[in-house]
Amino acid sequence: MIIGLTGGIASGKSTVSNLLRSYNIPVVDADLIARQVVEQGQPAYVKIVENFGIEVIDEEKNLDRKKLGSVIFNDSAKRKVLNEIVHPAVRHEMKSQAAHYLNDGFSHVVMDIPLLFESDLTHMVDRTLLIFVDDEVQFSRLVMRDQFTEDEARSRIASQMPLKDKVKLADAVITNNGSLEELKVKLEAQLKEWNII
Ligand SMILES: CC(C)(COP(=O)(O)OP(=O)(O)OC[C@H]1O[C@@H](n2cnc3c(N)ncnc32)[C@H](O)[C@@H]1O)[C@@H](O)C(=O)NCCC(=O)NCCS
Ligand SMILES: Nc1ncnc2c1ncn2[C@@H]1O[C@H](COP(=O)(O)OP(=O)(O)OP(=O)(O)O)[C@@H](O)[C@H]1O
């Protein structure tokens, strides 16, 4: 079974992914793959430079993620262009990694996909688990983690489907407004309910 783990930016997906790995459940991470497919020499890297110009690369010719972020999180048309370049390669690699784990005998694989609902990727998974947080918790954890300005944090949050709308689409929801210990307890209960542990 493939479980699609999703949420909003800074809602706690990576934190949950780490807990899942501690149960020996493999996690395929869309953000990590999205970084790998835009490394120098990759086809997506070339297309990004063609579309966004040399302004979005640094002195070592690596992608300047902060600069590209400041472009795409403030412009939905440009975000769409970037998504159309990066997402096919990410999807392809995610399917391949999940298939490897299943081939190796794991009965469950988790795909951590921030844009699972926005990009209509639910066909790639059997069940969806949403990590939900209230708006103010999301905002303060995001600013604390990434040292964003208020505007930077708000534009990133606004570039995703509101978490309250994702609640209606998910098979299960874990609310992560409380402590890490509470999160762990809720996750364990959900995994037991799904007979995963
Ligand atoms: C714009 C980029 C270079 C900014 O890089 P940066 O290192 O600052 O952020 P990072 O990649 O760690 O993403 C952090 C979070 O931002 C959110 N996010 C990223 N890309 C997008 C997007 N296109 N639309 C909405 N939210 C996004 C996700 O919640 C993600 O977890 C990078 O996010 C990117 O290449 N995005 C396009 C690919 C993508 O959609 N990735 C998300 C999962 S496939
Ligand atoms: N229950 C919690 N209590 C306190 N801090 C938390 C809790 N859950 C997550 N955090 C913190 O909130 C921040 C965001 O969590 P995390 O990085 O797991 O989110 P994410 O959904 O993976 O974000 P992104 O979409 O940006 O990758 C991190 O700094 C994390 O340590």
pTM of this structure:
0.97
Ligand 1 mutation target, pool 5, 6, 9, 57, most atoms within 8 A of CB: 9
**What pLDDT, in 10s, does the model give residues 115-168?**
999 999 999 999 999 999 999 999 999 999 999 999 999 999 999 999 999 999
Q: What is the CATH number of the domain that holds 32?
A: 3.40.50.300
Atom of ligand 1 nearest to the CA of 13: 31
Write down the pLDDT at residue 195.
96
Sheet holding 109-112, edge to edge: 27-29, 109-112, 2-7, 127-132, 172-175
Q: pLDDT value at position 89? A: 97
CB 149 within 8 A of CB 157: no
Q: Which domain holds residue 95?
A: 2-193
| β 2-7/27-29 pair status | unpaired
pLDDT band at 18 (very low <50, low <70, confident <90, very high): very high
Tell me whether 0.90 is exceeded by the ipTM: yes
Grade residue 78 by pLDDT with cuts at 50, 70 and 90: very high
Q: How many CB atoms lie within 10 A of CB 111?
A: 25
Please count the structural domains in the chain.
Answer: 1
